[in-house]
Amino acid sequence: METIHLLPVDNFKKKAVLSENINSLIIKKTLQIAQSIRVQSLLGTKLYNKVLELVSNNTINDIGNVNYKNLLEDYIIPVIQFEGYYKLLLHLHAQVTDKGAQNRNGEFSISVDMSGLKLLRAEAKNDSEFYANLLVLFLCDNSEDYIEYCDTTEGIGASKKPFFSGIYLDN
């Protein structure tokens, strides 16, 4: 199956607070990871595949699919946007090469230290969790419009609780 990108890189760049010079391939791969892992875990495999199918077949704009279009535009895309940004921050800070993981440094820039990166990522994760919560609350309140959301016969079941409280390990 071809890879379907629910949030194109150009749209991400227009909305994100980041440099226009970032390699689009890095962004594309990161958004795909955010989409396939985070969004699929929130929607469940069946609803996730339904949305992908509608986008792939160019039928998302059909009058009978208005609910799915609204779901995509108002709830799914913001989750991809902010989860993608959260994941992208780490990939922009470091890269894996044949010599191992290395910090990225530009010719005239200095990478932010680890505590600065953690702060940026924590803020991005808070935004991601906010939009994930909106998505799940919307689906729970409107589950009759998205029968695939309640169907757990295929793949990953849909999430009813999007927040990850994390684990604190003191140094």
Q: Domain spans of the chain?
A: 9-150
Give the separation between CA 119 and CA 112, rounded to whole angstroms: 10
Q: What size, in residues, is the chain?
A: 171
Task: Give pLDDT tens digits for 50-98.
Answer: 999 999 999 999 999 999 999 999 999 999 999 998 888 877 765 555 5
Residue 46 confidence class, pLDDT cut points 50, 70, 90: very high
Question: Which stretches of the chain are DSSP H helices?
Answer: 9-15, 24-33, 40-43, 45-56, 66-71, 77-93, 114-141, 147-150
DSSP 56-72: HTT-TTSGGGHHHHHHI
Task: Give pLDDT tens digits for 3-19.
Answer: 899 998 888 888 887 77
**pTM as predicted:** 0.82
Give the separation between CA 68 and CA 47, rounded to whole angstroms: 9
Task: Give pLDDT tens digits for 104-133.
Answer: 565 655 666 777 778 878 888 888 899 999
Integer CA distances (angstroms), 165 to 40, 88, 125, in order: 19, 21, 11
